Amino acid sequence: MGAERPPVAPAGPQRRFRQDPLLLRVPLILVGVAAVALLIVVPVANVFYQALSHGVGTYWRNLVDDPDTRHAILLTLIVAPVSVALNVGFGIAAAWAVTRFQFRGRTFLVTLIDLPFAISPVVAGLMFVLLFGLQGYFGPWLRDHGIHIIFALPGLILATTFVTLPFVARELIPVMEAIGADEETAALSLGAGGWQIFWRVTLPNIKWGLLYGVILCNARAMGEFGAVYVVSGHIAGQTDTMPLRVQKLFDEYNNPGSFAVASILTSLALLTLLAKVSLERKTRREIAAAGAFVGPERPRNADSRETP
Amino acid sequence: MKAFAQSTAASHRVLPGFRLSLSYTLIYLTVLLAIPLAACLAKVSSLTPSQFLAAAWTDRARAGYLLTFGVSFAAAAINVPLGLLLAWILVRYEFPFKRVLDSLIDLPFALPTAVAGLVYANLYVQNGWFGRFLVPLGIHGAYSRFAIVLVLTFIGLPFIVRTVQPVLETIDAEVEEAAASLGATRLQTFLRILLPSLVPALTTGFALTFARSLGEYGSVVFVSGNIMFKTEIAPVLIVNQLEEYHYAEATAIALVLLAGSFATLAVINSLERWSRRHGG
C-alpha cells in the first residue's frame, strides 16, 4: 500500500492535514486499547489463570490422567488434519478451475464456495444427521452394511469439513488470480505436462498463500463446536473432540479440567496468530522483493471475509 | 486489468486440467453441499404447511428467532463504531505495541468458540473477574441477553476491523488535504469526506458480523443459560428438537434460520457489487 502514497510529496503540511490533535489521538488510542484488553486480553489471561489455579501438578493431571480428555485430544488431532487435507485438495482444484478458465457459472461457483459461511454450524450438522442418521435417508442402508457415520468418526470429519470448506479456496483464488497464468502458459509452451506445471510452477508460487489457508482452516477445524456437537452423540472417550470435552467438563462442574482443555485450545489459537503474522510478513517481503513483476499486490486482508 | 483479462482469455482451454479440476470441484460441492441441502428441503417438504407452522412458528420458536436476530443486530451495531475506532487508530496513529494490538484483533477468529463461551461465562458470573464488580451494580454479563450480545461482540470484532482497515489505508491523502485547504474542520472532513467512503466497508462488516452471529452456537450455549422465551436462541431450539428425535421439526426451524442467513448473504453480495461499481 505504501507505494500508492505520492513519492516526494511535501510531507510536512500533508502530515498536518491528516494528523489528529493529541487531545483526540490519546483518548481514541486509550479507548481502543481498553476495548481490546477487556474483550480479548483479559479473557485469554483468565483461561490460563483458571487452568493453573490449582497448581501445575493438578493442571497436568487434568490433562494426562483423564482418559476421556486424552482421547478427545487425540480425536481432534485426527479430525482436523483430515478435514484440512480434504479442503486443500478441494481448494486447489477449485482455484485452478476458477482462476485459469472462463466458463459459464463461474461467479456462481465462487458464491457457492462461500455458502458454508452463511449456514449455521448446527444446521450443517443437522443436514448430515438427516442424510446418514439412523432415521435418515441413507440410514437403513448404512445400518444394513454396518457403516457408522453419525455418532462416529466419519460424521465428525464430514461436519468439520463442511464448516471449513471455504477457507483454502478463498485464500487461493485471489492469490492465483493476482499471479496470473503467464508462467504456467510459458511452461506449457516449453512442453511441460499438466502435473509438471502444477508441481514445478503453480505450487511454488502459491505455497505461502496455501499455507495461510491451511492455518486458518486448521484453527477453525480444531475449534469447531456446533456442527460437531450435533453429529457426535457425545460418547465420552469415543466421539468427544476437545471443544466438546470442554463443554462436558463444564457441565460436570469440573472447571479446572474444563479450563485445562481450553488452555490447550487457546495456546493453539495463539500459535495460529503467530504463524499468521509471520506468514503475512513473509508474503509482504516476497512481494516487495519481486517488485512489479508479481503484478497486483495481494490484498492484505484476503481473509477478511471469512473470516471468520 | 485489461492485460489480466487478456491473459486469462488466452489461457482459456490452453492450460490443461479444466475438466479434472472443475469436475472435482463440482462433485465435492455436490456431496458436501447440494445433497445435504436437498435433504433439508426434502425433510421439510414431508411436512404439511400446518405442520410446518406448528413446528417452526410456535411462540417459543418466534421468541428464539426474535432473540437471535436481535442479539446479532445489537452485536453488529456495537462492532461498527468499535471496529471503526480500532481500524482508525491502527491505520492513522503510532503507539507502543501497535502491532501486537493489530495481531490480537484476529484472536476471536482463531479461538474456538467454546473456549470464548466458557471464559466469558466465567468472567461475568458473580465471583468472576468482571462479575464481582458488575453484578453488585445489577449488570449481569452471564446467563442473560446482555451476555449473548457480549460474546457475539467478541466474535464479530475482527470482521469489521479487517473490512474497514484496508479501505482506510487506501484513502488518498490529497482528498483530506483539499478539504482542509478549502477550510473544512477535521470533524467536517471526517463526516463529509472520510465517513461516506467508509460506508460500504462498514456495511459489509456489519452484515458479515450479523450473518456470523445468526448461526453462532458454541459460544452462546455457555453464556446464555438457555432460559425458555428469554435467552434461547434459534440454534439451541434446533438442537433441542434433535435431541428428542424430532427431525422434521428441527429442520423446519433450521429452514427459517437458513432463509435469514441466505438473505443476509444476498445483501452482502449485492452491497459488494454496488460498492465496487460506485467506489472503484
pLDDT in tens, A4-38: 444 444 444 445 566 788 888 999 999 999 999 99
Q: Which residues between 55 and 74 in chain A have a beta carbon less than 8 angstroms from any beta carbon of chain B?
A: none
Instruction: Please give the pLDDT value at position A179.
Output: 87
At residue A12, the pLDDT reads: 46
CB contact under 8 A, B110 and A219: yes
B13 falls in which pLDDT band (50, 70, 90)?
low
Mean pLDDT, chain B, rounded, equals: 89
B107: nearest CB among A40, A102, A128 = A40
Q: Which of A38-52, A78-92, A110-124 has the lowest mean pLDDT?
A: A110-124
Give CA–CA dist A270/A27, Å, rounded.
Answer: 28
Q: Which residue of A has its CA nearest to B105?
A: A36
Contact assignment for A223 to B112 by CB distance below 8 Å: yes
- Of A60-69, A290-299, B128-137, B184-193, the poorest mean pLDDT is in A290-299
pLDDT at A78 over 60: yes
What's the average model confidence in pLDDT over B67-77? 96
Q: How long is chain A?
A: 308
Here the cell at position B1 is 486489468
* Residues B198-207, mean pLDDT to the nearest whole number: 90
Mean pLDDT of chain A: 86
What digits encode the pLDDT tens for the residues A128-183?
Answer: 999 999 888 999 999 999 999 999 999 999 999 999 999 999 999 998 988 889 99
Residues of B in contact with A33 (CB under 8 A): 95, 101
Cα–Cα distances (Å) from B97 to A32, A301, B94, in that order, read: 12, 20, 9
Q: Give me the pLDDT at residue A299, please.
A: 42
Query: If you average pLDDT over residues B172-180, what whole number do you get?
Result: 83
Q: Above 70 in pLDDT, residue B249? A: yes
Q: Tell me, what's the pLDDT at B275?
A: 72
CA-based nearest residue in chain A for residue B163: A304
Say yes or no to pLDDT of A304 above 80.
no
Share of chain A above pLDDT 90, in %: 70
Amino acid at B118: L
Q: What is the pLDDT of residue A116?
A: 92
Q: For residue A305, is pLDDT > 70?
A: no
Nearest-CB residue to B93 (from A9, A25, A230): A25
Find chain B residues with C-beta within 8 A of A122's C-beta. 215, 217, 235, 238-239, 254
Give A75's pLDDT tier (boundaries 50, 70, 90). very high
Distance separating alpha carbons of residues B213 and B219, to the nearest angstrom:
10
B chain contacts of residue A270, beta-carbon cutoff 8 Å? 107, 110
Q: Name which residue leads in pLDDT, B160 or B5.
A: B160
Q: With 90 as the cut, is the pLDDT of residue A296 above it?
A: no
Q: How high is the pLDDT of residue B163?
A: 92
pLDDT above 90: residue B251 = yes
The residue behind cell 450473518 is B211
Domain with CATH 1.10.3720.10 in chain A: 56-294
Phi-psi domain of B216 (left: phi exceeds 0; alpha: psi -120 through 50; beta: other): beta
How confident is residue B2, by pLDDT bands cut at 50, 70 and 90?
A: very low
Contacts of A112 in chain B (CB under 8 A): 29, 33
User: What integer pLDDT is reported at residue A10 of this predicted model?
Assistant: 43
Q: What is the mean pLDDT of residues A64-91?
A: 95
Predicted local confidence at residue A9, as pLDDT: 42
What letters, b where the CB count within 10 A reaches 16 and e where it falls short, cover B103-121?
A: ebbbbbbbbbbbbbbbbbb
Q: What percent of chain A has pLDDT over 70?
A: 87
Its pTM stands at 0.88
Q: Give the CA dihedral B148, B153, B158, B159, nearest 10 degrees.
A: 80
pLDDT at A287: 64
Distance of CA B243 to the CA centre of its chain: 27
Cα atoms in the Cβ-side hemisphere of radius 13 Å centred on B70:
15
Domain A56-294 sits in CATH at 1.10.3720.10
In this model, does residue B256 exceed pLDDT 60?
Answer: yes
